[in-house]
Amino acid sequence: MISTSQFRNGAAIRVDGKRFTILYFQHVKPGKGAAFVRTRLRNIDTGATLEKTFRAGEKLDSVRTESRPMQYLYRDGDLFYFMDEDTYEQTAIPESVLGETAGFLVPNGTLSVLSADGEVVSVEPPAHVDLEVTQTDPGLKGDTATGGSKPATLETGLTVQVPLFVNVGDRVRVDTRSKEYLTRV
């Protein structure tokens, strides 16, 4: 159990049977009436955000969360296999849990895997990854009518906009948060 006085940003709680992390909290003591705690919560399972108010001193169930670095090994159908870097234990994570992160998985790459109550709920890739361009149209010199970029398909199947000078076989650095081209490597 966790009391509202023990709320911290990033703490995990259970509200109405659902798991949430606390993004923001504020203890409010109005001049008239009882004190309360205003919070902004993110659902661990769906990623949806919600604003909720609790009475001061209210007790809620806490959720045990753990984030550990794991190395991506390989894909087999819709399962992605990861290895814990400390215990060398392998874990299979379904594609539905990974979502858009699957486009940033490079074999032997290290990612942060978040578990809640022993169940994997999300995989956080590093801030940027280096991927090889497998397909793109050749850029014509002086062809900048479209803003100087063209679509490129990367080795993981992800498609990003790259500058005209990038060719097939080049390695590019992609920001995993915005899915944008950063630089050629």
User: Domain with 74 in it: what CATH number?
Assistant: 2.40.50.140
Residue 165 has a CB neighbour count (10 Å cut-off) of 11
How, if at all, do strands 149-154 and 159-163 pair? antiparallel
pLDDT band (50, 70, 90) for residue 142: low
The predicted pLDDT at position 144 comes to 59
**Structure tokens, 40:** 């902004």
Distance CA 74, CA 106 (A): 9
Asked if residue 115 and residue 136 are part of one domain, the reply reads no
Asked if residue 178 and residue 133 are part of one domain, the reply reads yes
Instruction: Please give the share of the chain, as a percent, with pLDDT higher than 70.
Output: 95
Asked if residue 48 and residue 74 are part of one domain, the reply reads no
**Structure tokens, 27:** 């203890």
Asked if residue 84 and residue 41 are part of one domain, the reply reads no
Instruction: Please give the share of the chain, as a percent, with pLDDT higher than 90.
Output: 5
Domain count of the fold of the chain:
3
Look at residue 92 and give its three-state secondary structure.
strand
> Which residues, 6+ apart, have CB-to-CB distance to 77 below 8 Å?
none
Give the residue among 137, 129, 130, 177 at the shortest CA–CA distance from 153.
137
**Per-residue pLDDT at 146 exceeds 60:** no
Q: Where a domain ends, among 124, 145, 167?
A: 124
Look at residue 100 and give its three-state secondary structure.
helix
Asked if residue 74 and residue 33 are part of one domain, the reply reads no
Q: Where a domain ends, among 11, 38, 62?
A: 62
Residue-number span of the structural domain to which 44 is assigned = 2-62
Q: Is the pTM of this model over 0.85?
A: no
Mean pLDDT of the chain: 84
**Per-residue pLDDT at 145 exceeds 70:** no
Distance CA 105, CA 128 (A): 11
Asked if residue 73 and residue 55 are part of one domain, the reply reads no
pLDDT digits (tens, 9 = 90+) for 55-93: 888 888 888 888 888 898 888 888 889 998 888 888 888
Asked if residue 30 and residue 42 are part of one domain, the reply reads yes
Asked if residue 48 and residue 17 are part of one domain, the reply reads yes
Asked if residue 51 and residue 30 are part of one domain, the reply reads yes
How, if at all, do strands 59-62 and 79-84 pair? unpaired
What is the average pLDDT across 17-39?
88
pLDDT digits (tens, 9 = 90+) for 101-123: 888 888 888 888 888 877 787 78
Distance CA 28, CA 80 (A): 45
